[in-house]
A and B are shown apart, each in its own frame.
Chain A
Amino acid sequence: MSNPLRGEVLRLYKNLLYLGRDYPKGTSYFRERLKTAFMKNKDITDPEKIKKLVDRGDLVIKELEALYFLRKYRAMKKRYCEPEH
């Protein structure tokens, strides 16, 4: 395993796992798919490729944050704001 990037990959996994607690379909659903996704790439050794995958993982984090925000905003708007004419 490429040593310097091992830390990056673990960091990414932990961050995604933490974010998964708020996943709409449930924590276990998220955790299963997260593990599968990471296990699929476990034999990759090329640092370039690993870096690319980590970057994609960071993008997923951003997408999840956006998803969570929009869900919450829409729910609050529906409950507390008057419908616009």
Chain B
Amino acid sequence: MSARVLVGVKRVIDYAVKIRVKPDRTGVVTDGVKHSMNPFCEIAVEEAVKLKEKKLVKEVVAVSCGPQQVQETIRTALAMGADRGIHVEVSGKDYETLGPLQVSKILAALAKKEQADLIILGKQAIDDDCNQTGQMTAALLDWPQGTFASELTFEADKLKVVREIDGGLETIMIKLPAVVTADLRLNTPRYATLPNIMKAKKKKIANVKPADLGVDVSSRLEVLKVDEPPQRQAGVKVETVEDLVGKLKEAGRI
């Protein structure tokens, strides 16, 4: 198979970090905070690398959009087994407002340029929880999509995707080229150990600007404010049933 897979990876605040809102309420604190690859993107990379190991695809290309630091994330993807990387440079204000619409335009342009047959993305990012990029990319390319994939199999020139949906699993057959978004149970991502990272240093990361792809990254959305969720109120313990009824009446519940 001469298929080429494009895998989108996003650099997000590490899942284990306690998020704090900036005092000016415009966003969350990112300076000096540990960042890593979005967990669902890790699953996407793992799936692409597995397909290459099974010789079902020929090349895995890892893509990320953002400032200089996203190169770390691309390096992790290369350490996991991707063949080469593409860094789409977006920085400053543009990066702050970069969202699924802009990223999907970039991915669509890259897919055409690199002649990709399959795009695998994570189902959503743990920072913005949009769950839109995969779907938008498929729409822009007019490609079929297999979202929330928990199992992926090649059957002749089609892709069988088992999707995790409310109430169970749905199996669909889609034609290539296609977009797939990875759900939690698709696979177990390998850890990018130090020896793998060292070996991946030889792999190339190309630099591209959105303008080179003819994409306008300006956003039509404006963040008005960012707040923490309301603090949980402490519960009250009561001694008797009468007390409970009394307290409920006080709170206007009955």
Contact = CB atoms under 8 A, between A and B. Distances in A.
Given A77-B184, A81-B184, A71 B194 contact: no
Interface residues of A, number: 20
B188 A69 contact: yes
Nearest to A64: B191
Interface in A6-22: 11, 14-15, 18-19
Contacts of B184: 73, 76-77, 80-81
Nearest to B40: A76
Interface in A55-76: 61, 65, 68-69, 71-73, 75-76
A68 B188 CA distance: 11
A48 interface: no
A82 interface: yes
B191 A68 contact: yes
B82 to A, nearest CB: 19
A18 B166 contact: no
Contacts of A19: 191, 193-194
A81 B197 CA distance: 31
A24 interface: yes
A15 B194 contact: yes
Contact of A24 (B16, B166, B188): B16
B195 interface: yes
A44 to B, nearest CB: 24
Contacts of A75: 15-16
Nearest to A72: B39
Contacts of A81: 184
B188 A76 contact: no
A82 B194 contact: no
B191 A15 contact: no
B27 interface: no
A15 B193 contact: yes
B189 interface: yes
B15 A18 contact: no
Given A72-B39, A76-B184, A14 B16 contact: no
Contacts of A69: 188-189, 191
A79 B117 CA distance: 32
Interface string B16-59: 10000000000000000000000110000000000000000000
B215 to A, nearest CB: 29
Interface of B: 15-16, 39-40, 124, 126, 166, 184, 188-189, 191, 193-195, 197
Given A80-B124, A80-B184, 14 more contacts: A11-B195, A14-B194, A15-B195, A18-B194, A18-B197, A19-B194, A61-B193, A65-B191, A65-B193, A69-B191, A72-B39, A76-B184, A77-B184, A81-B184
28 contacts: A15-B193, A15-B194, A18-B197, A19-B191, A19-B193, A19-B194, A24-B16, A61-B193, A65-B191, A65-B193, A68-B191, A69-B188, A69-B189, A69-B191, A71-B16, A72-B15, A73-B184, A75-B15, A76-B15, A76-B39, A76-B40, A76-B126, A76-B184, A77-B184, A80-B124, A80-B184, A81-B184, A82-B166
